[in-house]
Amino acid sequence: MTSKTEQTTPADTTGRPSREEAEAAVRVLLRWAGDDPQREGLMDTPARVVRSYEEFFAGYQVDPREILARTFSEVDGYDEMIVLKDIRFESYCEHHMVPIIGRAHVAYLPGHRVVGISKLARLVDAFAKRLQIQEKMTVQIADTLNDVLQPAGVGVILEAAHQCMSTRGVHKAGVTMVTSRMLGTFRTDPSTRREFLSIVGNPGAVAVSNT
């Protein structure tokens, strides 16, 4: 009889490689890079890399919609803009698997319910801790917030530096990419958009993507 600890895990049923297979893959990359994974300084590197990946890509194990599931209705009629700005995030470029480091500004105009502010930061992390491109991540954050809370409007702006651009390729350091997603009143009402931009410091005049 199979014990509970011996039962097949969901990761196994989806074909996810085992930890041992992941560590073996790191050893292959170390050899490909020209080093010896058996030398003293690299002996524990495969295990460390796999543990790091568990943290870097923890977003795959999170349901972003569940983060926003608990809301509050006792707001005494508050119907003004709610903004959480300067949310630091760390993501990884899906094209080169190098870091994307930036800040997110998330705002919404509540309908009948609000969500705890920590949940907005967790929502950003749920999508950041995956292989990403900034444009897609911007849309994912805004659309999830809009779909779950159904507010009067949502505004999301991301500002980030991409190491795929600063450490390789064109080698342009100090460059920041700005993306935005405006929904509801943030899209249709210029004064709402201006207020949001004023609160977050008008980053890059939001010159990139309002998809």
Helix (H) or strand (E) holding 161: strand 153-162
Spatial contact of 149 and 65, defined as CB atoms under 8 Å apart:
no
Asked about 94 being catalytic, the answer comes back as yes
Annotated ligand binding at 96? The verdict is: yes
Asked about 171 being catalytic, the answer comes back as no
> 60: which 2 tokens?
């795959």
Q: Of these residues, 23, 105, 134, 159, which one is catalytic?
A: 134
Report the Cα–Cα distance between both ends of the chain, in Å, rounded.
Answer: 54
> 93: which 2 tokens?
């470029």
Asked about 7 being catalytic, the answer comes back as no
Residues 134-146 as b or e (16 or more Cβ within 10 Å = b): bbebbbbbbebbb
Asked about 6 being catalytic, the answer comes back as no
What are phi and psi for residue 193, nearest 5 degrees?
A: -65, -45
Asked about 150 being catalytic, the answer comes back as no
Measure the CA–CA gap between 127 and 140, rounded to whole angstroms. Answer: 7
How far, rounded to the nearest angstrom, does the alpha carbon of residue 68 sit from its chain's CA centroid? 15
Asked about 112 being catalytic, the answer comes back as no
Q: Of these residues, 90, 93, 150, 163, which one is catalytic?
A: 93
Spatial contact of 209 and 182, defined as CB atoms under 8 Å apart:
no
Q: Of these residues, 20, 21, 66, 94, which one is catalytic?
A: 94
Q: Of these residues, 90, 150, 163, 164, which one is catalytic?
A: 164
Spatial contact of 181 and 137, defined as CB atoms under 8 Å apart:
no
Asked about 95 being catalytic, the answer comes back as yes
**What is the sign of the dihedral through the CA atoms of 141, 199, 79 and 116?**
positive
Q: Of these residues, 90, 96, 163, 195, which one is catalytic?
A: 96
Q: Of these residues, 20, 38, 61, 95, which one is catalytic?
A: 95
Residues placed in the known binding site for Zn(2+): 93, 96, 164
The annotation places the binding site at 93, 96, 164
Catalytic residues: 93-96, 134, 162, 164
